[in-house]
Structure 1
Amino acid sequence: MPPAITYEACLRYLRGAAPLAEARAVRAWLADPANEAQAQEWMSRSVAEATAAAPAATDSYDYNYAQIRANLHARLGLDVRPAPVQPKAPHWRRWALAATLAGATVGATWLWPRPAPRSSVTTAHYATTYGQTRVVQLPDGSVVTLNARSSVRYAAPALASAPREVWLDGEAFFAVKHLPTNQRFVVHTTAGFRVEVLGTRFAVYRRHAQARVVLLSGKVRVAFADSTRPAVVLKPGELLQTSDKHPRALVHKAVQAAAYTSWTANELQFEATPLADLATRLQDTYGVEVVVASPALRQRKFTGTFPMGNLDVLCEDLAEAFHLHVERQRNRLILSSKPLSD
């Protein structure tokens, strides 16, 4: 007998916490138009509960059920190609959104690779393992969401005029709290450039000899260690990315910023993403080796949004939505194309 479909079961699936059998049953139930009224009622209920729990959330809980259902059908492979996620378009993340990043105000932030000053003493350390995300509140009231296999170390300033400092390894989303003393907030990585963030919501990534900053709100000025290079100013919705192999070959462009922070809502979101990059995301998140069967498949691009949490469920979602064959061998995934007749 298939598992009963309840409000709690749907929430578990959308948060990526459902067991495999339950996730399959929920997917089939959500795809049935006969259940649309009940699903919309449950969605309204979850929105009301989330809003009551975090009335000051900066992200809107408005939604459009028709669009959400269309996105679900795309996820299940019922359309030719999953619909691109628009920056303002509501999707399943609205239902499962955690409101812990709300309420941040303006602050000044720096990203710069340099050693810790002797006056700074580590007062807090947080870390995640593979397959885990974690929301932590720093001693100064700022909120950091750590992605899988990441760590952050916080040092309180010895003097009121000194900056608050953080050392990041991996990937994190920052919501910085402004203090009455106007103390700066400094994020250290090995990225090789300095970033002054004149706002509070941004994401920092440093893995695989690459680094990027994605700005969600406020204003960012990037200054390079090479003083002969002009600074770059980022606007909300823009990305700056650099590589250790080609440090002068910067990528500065407008992006759908939500795709770079969807993991904070327990989702993986892809927007015209090559399968090679998708494979890297899976390796970083779950600690599995991912093998792509052919060079041509590595360049194939995918668009869609999927709940994280249960790797088996995610593999089934990817296989159905993108017409892939996903074979799991212990700590290894093999991705290949399905024959057109399947």
Structure 2
Amino acid sequence: MIPPITQDLFTAFVRGTASPAEASAVRAWLTEPANQLLAQYWMQQHWDELATALPLTPAAHEPDFEELLARVRPQLAPAAPRLVARPQWPRWAAAASLVGALAGGSWLLYSQQAPEPLVASTAYGQTRIIKLSDGSQVTLNGHSRLRYAAAWAPGKPREVWLDGEGYFAVQHTHDHQRFLVHTNAGLQVEVLGTKFVVARRHAQTRVVLLSGKVRVEFDAHQQPDVIMRPGELVETQDAQPTLVVHQKVHTAPYSTWKDAQLVLDETTIAELATRLQDTYGLEVVVATPELNRRRVTGTVPVHELDVLLQALEETFHLQATRQGKRLTLAEKS
């Protein structure tokens, strides 16, 4: 059975710790052009982690790729699949396939020709607006991260990578440049000009369209693309990747966080607890199990956590007790 290609498996392959069967599966996965941008993103993430954790020398940042390639070529299996070339990718792909053969398995190579991407991130409880070079705008929710280019070449897709949750207001361009939002969940969102929310949390990915039109594309070729219309939601779970939820929703509960509001529309306390955890980094404990099934509707502010908790108590008759990063919700006596 072919293992699913996850970020952890890909990282193990880069480090040279994957099993032969896993390494073979990753090499086959890399031959698919649709997977190569995601692999490039994962590889850059791995490099960022190494750069943070290890005292790297300047030579580690700028390896002599041709010399390394000459050293390891004799070690490669003759039947290793040929990687499909695309701009700025071949040296990344070669690095991914060769790194397991290097002594020690700790080398990480990347394209020196590609410009360094920009990274924007938010802490728990923080939102941030990022203005892109094309006039598009991204609002990041708490505990989120966006990677993007300082500028895009004419005629090339505008691509960004998202971890967490972001609200996108995308500008249409005169040459109809595609705008792609990549996630690490095996799907990407293609846009021409629209407003939408993408959330990637808890092994779940959700896209909510507010205006315009988007196409949700899946890496799994057997899964058909989904064309979304305003007021629709598409949601997938890592545990059931072939099960795609596509339905009409009220969009306000999914997007008004960008306006410092938390809109609840028949939201269960269990769902509310998860949103508080994602936004503020709290450990939320529902002390009264029956509360998990209670549904609440209303609007409360999100800028000040204490104000939010007070509003929840008064509006929904709860007892919210906070001790450091631990929040307990209970039925009010």
TM-score by length of 1: 0.63
Aligned equivalent of 1:277: 271
Written as runs of structure 1 = structure 2, the 5 A alignment for 1:55-134 is 113-116=38-41, 117-118=88-89, 120-134=114-128
Distance 2:325 2:205 in 1: 27
CA contact (8 A) 2:262 2:300 kept: yes
Please point out which of 165, 177, 200 is paired with 1:183: 177
Verify: 1:259 aligned to 2:253, yes or no: yes
Distance 2:220 2:202 in 1: 22
Identity of matched residues, %: 53
Of 229-238 and 265-274, deviating more is 229-238
In angstroms, what is the RMSD of aligned CA positions?
1.9
Structure with larger Rg: 2
Verify: 1:206 aligned to 2:131, yes or no: no
Aligned equivalent of 2:133: 139
Distance 2:38 2:330 in 1: 40
1:12-62 CA-partner distances (Å, limit 9, x unpaired): xxxxxxxxxxxxxxxxxxxxxxxxxxxxxxxxxxxxxxxxxxxxxxxxxxx
* Corresponding residue SS for 1:314: helix
Higher relative CO (CA 8 A, sep ≥ 6), structure 1 or 2? 1
Distance 2:137 2:38 in 1: 22
Aligned equivalent of 2:47: none
Shift in Å, 1:327: 0.8
Shift in Å, 1:139: 2.3
Aligned equivalent of 2:154: 160
Please point out which of 218, 222, 235 is paired with 2:229: 235
Distance 2:116 2:297 in 1: 41
Written as runs of structure 1 = structure 2, the 5 A alignment for 1:290-301 is 290-301=284-295
Distance 2:263 2:152 in 1: 40
Distance 1:166 1:213 in 2: 15
* Corresponding residue SS for 2:185: coil
CA contact (8 A) 1:163 1:186 kept: yes
Unaligned runs of 5+ in 1: 1-111
1:152-180 CA-partner distances (Å, limit 9, x unpaired): 11125664222122111110011112223
* Corresponding residue SS for 1:115: helix
Shift in Å, 1:249: 1.9
Shift in Å, 1:151: 1.4
Shift in Å, 1:120: 4.5
Aligned length: 228
Q: Structure 1 runs of 4+ off > 6 angstroms?
A: none
* Corresponding residue SS for 2:327: strand
Distance 1:124 1:163 in 2: 16
Distance 2:153 2:127 in 1: 32
Unaligned runs of 5+ in 2: 1-36, 42-87, 90-112
**Structure number with higher helix proportion:** 2
Written as runs of structure 1 = structure 2, the 5 A alignment for 1:212-227 is 212-227=206-221
TM-score by length of 2: 0.64
Distance 1:230 1:165, change over 3 A: closer
* Corresponding residue SS for 2:240: coil
CA contact (8 A) 2:322 2:328 kept: yes
Verify: 1:319 aligned to 2:307, yes or no: no
CA contact (8 A) 2:179 2:190 kept: no
CA contact (8 A) 1:165 1:186 kept: yes
Matched residue type, 1:317: A
Verify: 1:150 aligned to 2:144, yes or no: yes
* Corresponding residue SS for 1:230: coil
